[in-house]
Amino acid sequence: MSTRIFLASRNRKKIEEMERILREHVPGVEVVGLDDLPALGVDYDEPVEDQPTFQGNALLKARAGLAATGLPSVADDSGLCVDALNGMPGVLSARWSGPRDGVAREEVDARNNALLLAQLSDVPDERRAARFACAVALCHPGGEQVVLGEMTGRVLREVRGEGGFGYDGLFEADDEPGRSTAELSREEKDAISHRGHALRALGPVLAATVVR
């Protein structure tokens, strides 16, 4: 096998983030996303993410990726879990404000953020605790693994920062108080993020099992 792996995502920032972190353990690894598949002559039907847990959705996508591409396939499912909303948006984070079909990612992010702010408008600062949770699944011909990661913090009262994606502009991590995760450098965010924790746990597994 080569150091090329498939990531079941069209989010270019997420693909770059995953490639950057995995290279700590697998130098030269190339992460291929959904939009790269036509150039490789691969037909891929995205499965419906209908599982009730991050782990279930990650495995669903990684298994479909392996079946379609033959490459070691990685998929993640992650979301923001807000205490005051009983753990929601959770697995519904990406589509919290409605279906994403045909809508630009930036518009979806803005819509989701606006809805979350509205839902927490009367929640005091001391009750705005939240966490980002992530499950990353790896499926390859020899088996499959799932690793977990999380980042604890709180939801801010306004969007701050230009970096990141999703809810990053609304989240202040416990490990980096005073700034939203959208205000952190890539290296600072990678060091503390839910996805960073999960991918660093996955890196040695990937290096030992599917890369040679």
Is residue 166 marked as binding? yes
Is residue 14 marked as binding? yes
Residues ≥6 apart with Cβ < 8 Å to 147: 135, 136, 138, 198, 199, 201, 202, 205
83 is catalytic: no
Please tell me the distance from the alpha carbon of residue 160 to that of residue 163, in angstroms, as a whole number: 9
Is residue 11 marked as binding? yes
Is residue 168 marked as binding? yes
Is residue 9 marked as binding? yes
CA angle 202–46–167, rounded 5-degree value = 60
In the set 76, 77, 109, 190, the catalytic residue is 77
Is residue 212 marked as binding? no
Please tell me the distance from the alpha carbon of residue 69 to that of residue 65, in angstroms, as a whole number: 6
Is residue 10 marked as binding? yes
Task: Determine the length of the chain.
Answer: 212
Is residue 95 marked as binding? no
Annotated binding-site positions for substrate: 9-14, 78, 165-168, 189, 194-195
Annotated binding-site positions for Mg(2+): 77
Annotated binding-site positions: 9-14, 77-78, 165-168, 189, 194-195
Q: Which residues are catalytically annotated?
A: 77
